[in-house]
């Protein structure tokens, strides 16, 4: 009898195990959002578990954290920036980079030529050569040459740092002290950067290394560039629970080698998928809110099915013509039911979208044609309730410093001439 029971228990145990594994698989499939499935299936975006996301919503927080991490670098520092302004912040960072290079750390920096050239305090060849002599390998991406057509269609707009493959930074902030001190009549320059630890850091590295090799003609490679033991870095005060599932959304122009041509559509398709799958609410903060018709239609569909759509723009801007286009675009969406808030306490340069309870999209992508159709861009698609809640809390706080755009505000706050300029400026929407 005992032998018979023992023989019966074997297949029964096996069936129970299969049932248990099947249940686990179903749970995993349920927790994976439709947006993640779309990006995995169409763009091979890898979503990794167990990442930590620290929000850095000011220049002081970003640069304080970045300086601490750079000083800890043991093996390599990789930096990719649109604008590396030569000012008080960059001088501090350059000193750290020189010290780390002298200690044997590999330091690689790539800077976009247009982003550097448009700055009022550009990084010039003498400063670059001093860095190179100190062991910092600096390269300028796509140098501007007469007649300058090479920079009309694509620019490297990303803001990425990878340190020892253990910690990464990504967001909307360049290297510049105006994020702390302001610039011109903009005394408060708001933005958002993220500090990332976990396996997704290796995915950021997979963005940087092919781009570096293409830009420089070098061939850096090796497993050590992707090892993501974060124990040393996670002892910092910025440590947060490793609960985030993260995918790197990297947009490249069609002429970019080492990347599939279909990556040209990834940013706008990610946005559209997130908007189309929203069930309850969408919050967007973007400084140059002039999206294509495809994104505007997706937002209108979301409003029509009962999703609360909230958009935050700025009353101030660093680009002269863009605010009129942004205002007219938001006026059109407001008429369809979107809630629009005009931030009045400075320039809100953040690029953030949150959807429902746990999906966030943060990085360098502006909601304009240049970001979605021309430039190199990089965002994180984050599935994490805690990150989403913190971003939403910031949005709600910023509402207190904003003017809500309503039909009456549109008529009383803006003169007839201003409204006409908004309508005329919208003709230029595909060019910004």
Q: Which pLDDT score is estimated for 411?
A: 93
Q: How confident is the model at residue 57 (pLDDT cuts 50, 70, 90)?
A: very high
pLDDT above 60 for 151: no
pLDDT score, position 152? 62
Q: Is the pLDDT of residue 126 over 60?
A: yes
Q: What backbone torsions phi and psi does residue 282 show, to the nearest 5 degrees?
A: -135, 130
Rounded distance between C-alpha atoms, residue 297 and residue 430, angstroms: 16
Both tokens of 29, joined, read 């499939």
Is residue 227 over pLDDT 70?
Answer: yes
**High-pLDDT (> 70) share of the chain, %:** 86
pLDDT for residue 143: 80
State pLDDT tens for residues 172-206. 999 999 999 998 888 899 999 999 999 999 999 99
Residues 20-40, mean pLDDT to the nearest whole number: 67
pLDDT tens digits for 345-387? 999 999 999 999 999 999 999 999 999 999 999 999 999 999 9
Residue 25 has pLDDT above 60, yes or no: no
Q: pLDDT band for 72, please (50, 70, 90 cuts).
A: very high
CA distance 349 to 288: 8
Report which of residues 418 and 296 the model is more confident about: 296
* Torsion over CA: 82, 60, 230, 39 (sign): negative
Q: Give 236's pLDDT tier (boundaries 50, 70, 90).
A: low
Which pLDDT value is given to residue 396?
Answer: 97
What's the whole-number mean pLDDT along residues 132-139?
97
pLDDT in tens, 31-45: 789 999 999 999 999
Q: What is the biggest distance separating any 2 CA atoms in the chain, rounded to whole angstroms?
A: 95
Distances 272 to 265, 291, 308, 350 between C-alpha atoms, Å: 11, 11, 16, 19
Give the per-residue pLDDT at 10: 58
pTM attached to this predicted model: 0.90
What is the predicted pLDDT for the residue at 146? 60
- Tell me the average pLDDT across 67-82: 97
């Amino acid at each position: 009898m005992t032998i018979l029971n023992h023989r019966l228990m074997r297949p029964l145990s096996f069936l129970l195990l299969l049932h248990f594994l099947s249940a686990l698989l179903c749970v995993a499939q349920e927790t994976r959002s439709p947006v993640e499935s779309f990006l995995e299936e169409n763009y091979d975006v890898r979503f990794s578990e167990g990442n930590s996301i620290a929000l850095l919503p000011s220049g002081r927080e970003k640069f304080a954290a970045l300086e601490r991490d750079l000083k800890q670098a043991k093996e390599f520092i990789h930096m990719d920036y649109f604008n590396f302004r030569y000012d008080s912040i960059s001088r501090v960072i350059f000193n750290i980079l020189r010290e780390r290079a002298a200690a044997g750390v590999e330091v690689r920096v790539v800077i976009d030529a247009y982003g550097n050239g448009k700055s009022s305090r550009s990084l010039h060849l003498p400063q670059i050569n001093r860095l190179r002599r100190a062991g910092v390998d600096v390269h300028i991406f796509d140098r501007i040459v007469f007649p300058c057509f090479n920079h009309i269609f694509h620019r490297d707009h990303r803001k990425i740092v990878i340190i020892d493959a253990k910690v990464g930074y990504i967001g909307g902030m360049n290297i510049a002290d105006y994020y702390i001190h302001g610039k011109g009549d903009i005394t408060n320059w708001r933005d958002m950067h993220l500090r990332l630890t976990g396996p997704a850091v290796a995915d950021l590295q997979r963005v940087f290394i092919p781009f570096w090799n293409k830009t420089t003609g070098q061939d850096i490679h090796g497993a050590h560039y992707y090892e993501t033991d974060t124990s040393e870095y996670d002892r910092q005060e910025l440590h947060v629970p490793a609960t985030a599932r993260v995918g790197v959304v990297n947009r490249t122009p069609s002429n970019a080698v080492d990347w599939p041509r279909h990556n040209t559509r990834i940013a706008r398709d990610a946005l559209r998928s997130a908007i189309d799958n929203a069930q309850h609410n969408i919050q967007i903060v973007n400084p140059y809110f002039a999206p294509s018709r495809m994104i505007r239609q997706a937002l209108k569909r979301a409003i029509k099915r009962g999703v609360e759509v909230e958009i935050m723009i700025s009353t101030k801007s660093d680009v002269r013509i863009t605010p009129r286009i942004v205002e007219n675009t938001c006026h059109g969406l407001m008429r369809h039911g979107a809630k629009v808030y005009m931030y009045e306490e400075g320039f809100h340069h953040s690029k953030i979208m949150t959807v429902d309870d746990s999906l966030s999209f943060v990085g360098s992508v502006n909601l304009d044609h240049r970001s979605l159709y021309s430039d190199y861009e990089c965002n994180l698609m984050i599935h994490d309730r805690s990150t989403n809640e913190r971003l939403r809390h910031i949005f709600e706080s910023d509402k207190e410093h904003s003017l809500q755009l309503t039909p009456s505000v549109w008529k009383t706050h803006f003169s007839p001439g201003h409204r006409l300029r908004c309508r005329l400026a919208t003709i230029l929407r595909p060019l910004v």
